[in-house]
């Protein structure tokens, strides 16, 4: 009888311990494979087969030819990038003043549009390493600026500077010519027209736009200074939180730069006029 009781108690204890162990493990997740990470922008681009590129027109960065097709340095860069990704480039022309909000809203995947790296912009987007450099210059009314040779000559209250809004040219003008008047426009063509119409003294813009305008209107416009007065790094911009895309783009920039391809395309668009026959 005693042995029976001892055996029964032993079995009870074993079952109790087993049940306790089961109850402790009941709330624990079973061993399963970790869920696959959500697809990032790079994966979505490849799956979609299309790289959506946001840009704004700046001669010769990006512009329309006689047929209405987009051509220019940035267009070449975007097409080469898309080709190397195994996808097609889809161009989304956008007003410069709203191009970052449009990127953040998901209207395109990347900005390839002569955008310089700036701290305030970097608070909203992630920049790649630079793939090009630009500089600010002036093109002026030949009569009004006949004796102007330095930035100090333009730093006067009676001087009116026409500038495309949303560009770094605005900050450059305020920094180097704080006493001059500034008039803002949506398009660079409007800034030049303002000078040609006699309502502005000069246009402040990224090179080579001022130089091209001086060549286009040699009797009306002049370059008062031989060299740009700033140097700015130009980079791709993408939405934050996607390091894989930035890493890929940085590597791609290094590759095509080492190949000499970027320099070759830059020289074609910025140092020759071979492409002007494609324009109206």
**How far apart are the C-alpha atoms of 156 and 147, rounded to whole Å?**
14
> Is pTM, for the whole model, over 0.95?
no
pLDDT above 90 for 128: yes
Per-residue confidence (pLDDT) for residue 276, from 0 to 100: 86
Contact between residue 172 and residue 230 where contact means Cβ atoms under 8 Å apart: yes
Per-residue confidence (pLDDT) for residue 273, from 0 to 100: 81
Contact between residue 109 and residue 225 where contact means Cβ atoms under 8 Å apart: no
**How far apart are the C-alpha atoms of 177 and 201, rounded to whole Å?**
13
**How far apart are the C-alpha atoms of 93 and 58, rounded to whole Å?**
11
Q: Which pLDDT band, with edges at 50, 70 and 90, does 16 fall under?
A: very low
pLDDT above 70 for 28: no
170 forms beta bridges with none
Per-residue confidence (pLDDT) for residue 25, from 0 to 100: 45
Using the structure block, give the residue that is written with the tokens 């890929």: 248
Domains and CATH numbers, the chain: 41-133+232-275 (3.40.190.10), 136-222 (3.40.190.10)
Mean pLDDT of 33-37: 46
Per-residue confidence (pLDDT) for residue 51, from 0 to 100: 98
């Amino acid at each position: 009888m005693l042995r029976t009781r001892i055996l029964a108690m032993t079995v009870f204890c074993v079952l109790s311990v087993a049940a306790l162990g089961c109850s402790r493990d009941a709330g624990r997740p079973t061993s399963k494979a970790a869920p696959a990470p959500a697809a990032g922008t790079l994966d979505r681009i490849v799956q979609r087969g299309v790289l959506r590129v946001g840009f704004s027109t700046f001669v010769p960065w990006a512009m329309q030819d006689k047929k209405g097709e987009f051509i220019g340095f940035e267009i070449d860069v975007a097409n080469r990038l898309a080709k190397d990704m195994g996808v097609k480039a889809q161009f989304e022309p956008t007003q410069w003043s709203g191009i970052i909000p449009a990127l953040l809203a998901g209207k395109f995947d990347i900005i390839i549009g002569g955008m310089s790296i700036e701290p305030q912009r970097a608070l909203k987007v992630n920049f790649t390493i630079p793939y090009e450099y630009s500089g600010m210059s002036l093109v002026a009314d030949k009569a009004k600026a006949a004796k102007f040779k330095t930035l100090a000559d333009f730093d006067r209250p009676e001087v009116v500077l026409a500038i495309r809004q949303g560009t770094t040219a605005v900050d450059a003008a305020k920094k180097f010519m704080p006493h001059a008047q500034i008039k803002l426009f949506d398009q660079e063509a409007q800034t030049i027209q303002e000078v040609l119409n006699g309502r502005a003294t000069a246009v402040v813009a990224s090179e080579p736009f001022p130089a091209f305008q001086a060549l286009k209107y040699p009797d009306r416009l002049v370059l008062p200074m031989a060299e740009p007065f700033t140097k700015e790094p130009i980079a791709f911009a993408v939405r934050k939180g996607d390091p894989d895309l930035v890493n890929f783009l940085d590597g791609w920039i290094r590759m095509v730069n080492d190949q000499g391809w970027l320099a070759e395309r830059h020289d074609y668009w910025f140092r020759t006029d071979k492409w002007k026959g494609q324009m109206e």
